[in-house]
Structure 1
Amino acid sequence: MTYKLPISILFCAFILLNCKSHKTQTTYSSETLKIIPVSKNSFIHISYLSTDDYGKVACNGLVYMNDGEAIVFDTPTDTETSNELIQWITKTKHHNIKAVVVNHFHDDCLGGIEAFHELSIPSYANNATIELAKNEGNPVPQIGFDTENELTLGNQKIFNRHFGEAHTKDNIVSYIPNEHLLFGGCPVKSLKATKGYLGDANVGEWSKTIENIKATYPDLKIVIPGHGDHGGIELLDYTISLFKKE
């Protein structure tokens, strides 16, 4: 005799399984730092910045690991939380940190960079980022480049590139080909996000800059914004539409 479950029970089970499959995994969590895996080798690190206009803001960075080494894209927002991230990478994951890459000159990108410098970990940024950080009195990255920078981690390449002005005049993005991953930082918006802080932005060029990124990297599967949930290439489409001239 075959026993059939009521349709209502089957429907509820489907909903529960579907919700569970979409639940964001967290591999590390404290009051000041969260780390979320987005692939076997890539992890979003989330720290928090207190602001006057937006309150406590969650800020995204990235850790990419390969062959026993790691590169950090944007530091946590302060030295203490950066040390927390360093401990997780080196003691828990047993990877040596090869470099830090800074997206732009704001505190949510380089507020904790001195923790890395104290360990002789080099930092890279657009030359404009270095000048703007100096002018703002912010911590200053060490190694500059004009438009493009290429780093290697084991047998994998990472491309850091300035495509144009958007959230700031100096902002870059970082592309990891074997992961089909773009760390967009603040130039890229999460779905349903507002335009956010525009004090240093070039709103007129923003959409054009993101269009150039999309055309250069059409194979993207993972796109990480500076704030909010990660996704795919649809984040670029949303950002383009958000700043498109009417």
Structure 2
Amino acid sequence: MRKLSVITLLFIAILTFQARGQAEKIHISEDLEIIPLTDKSFIHVSYVTYPSFGRVACNGLLYVNGNEAVVMDTPPNDEISGQLLDWISQKFPETKVTSVVINHFHSDCLGGLGAFHEAGATSYASRLTCSLAGQDNAVVPQNSFARKKKIKVGDQEVVCRFLGEAHTRDNIVTWLPEEEILFGGCMVKSVNATKGNLEDANVDEWASTISKVKRKYKEAKTIIPGHGDAGGVELLDYTMQLFAL
């Protein structure tokens, strides 16, 4: 099948974004915004400055079901994580953040993990993520798994799964079946993004890993990258093209 051009993918992404009717960002502070996706799911966007890349917007995901909530990836530090936790408690006063899932060992995923532990959330990550976080002198997630983990959130489950190396050796994805939302993290690129930070990447396996993700979660309606705009399957197609050998 003929490959789609970058311009075509960008056009599809714009139409898909508009069709979903995503609400406008809720401004929490200079460093934190919230993007509602549904009544239960929200992207949290944190802004942090890195010497090599400047000021960067980092995505995470919040899923609320009943009186429980799970957060996928923390903001990059405890201060912004505290702002996120405060917003959740104000928006959902009867809800407790019971779980936090870490996508991989970089600071834009777990830099604020200490604040979540202090708030009583239980943290989960792959065994390799826990090992790499420890080597990096970061706060280490409390619970580890090999390749797959199901986490209860109210009467629903979210599914965390390792499908291969890409942005890092340990990157996972998290699937929300009820919402048909896939949190891809930094292995998934927003349309028109560059390759980004490749310091810990496996560029030889990246496209193959994304192909596995696409086959496994072909019913995903919304896909969230680690940075940039959410979209649909076009994000996976773009990422595969970007790293095609």
Same fold (TM over 0.5): yes
What is the rounded CA distance, in whole Å, between the counterparts of 2:174 and 2:22 in structure 1?
26
Instruction: Give me the TM-score of the superposition, normalised by structure 2.
Output: 0.89
Structure 1, unmatched stretches of 5+, are 1-18
Secondary structure of the residue that 2:151 maps to in structure 1? strand
Runs of at least 4 residues off by over 6 Å: none
8 Å CA contact 1:28–1:36 kept in 2: the answer is no
Instruction: Give me the TM-score of the superposition, normalised by structure 1.
Output: 0.89
8 Å CA contact 1:162–1:173 kept in 2: the answer is yes
Number of the residue aligned with 1:229: 229
What is the rounded CA distance, in whole Å, between the counterparts of 1:38 and 1:182 in structure 2?
12
Shift of 1:24: 5.1
Secondary structure of the residue that 1:123 maps to in structure 2? strand
Number of the residue aligned with 2:141: 141
For residues 1-246 of structure 1, what are the structure 2 equivalents within 5 Å? 25-94=24-93, 95-245=95-245
- What is the RMSD of the two structures over their aligned residues, measured on CA atoms? 1.4
Q: For 1:68-122, what per-residue CA distance to the aligned partner results, in whole angstroms no more than 9, with x for missing partners?
A: 2110000011101101111111222222101000000000000000001112211
What is the rounded CA distance, in whole Å, between the counterparts of 1:74 and 1:22 in structure 2?
24
- What amino acid sits opposite 1:240 in the alignment? M
Shift of 1:184: 0.4
- What amino acid sits opposite 2:145 in the alignment? F
Q: For 1:142-170, what per-residue CA distance to the aligned partner results, in whole angstroms no more than 9, with x for missing partners?
A: 10001000011112111000000000000
8 Å CA contact 1:44–1:62 kept in 2: the answer is yes
What is the rounded CA distance, in whole Å, between the counterparts of 2:239 and 2:22 in structure 1?
24
Instruction: Give the length in aligned residue pairs.
Output: 226
- What amino acid sits opposite 1:45 in the alignment? H
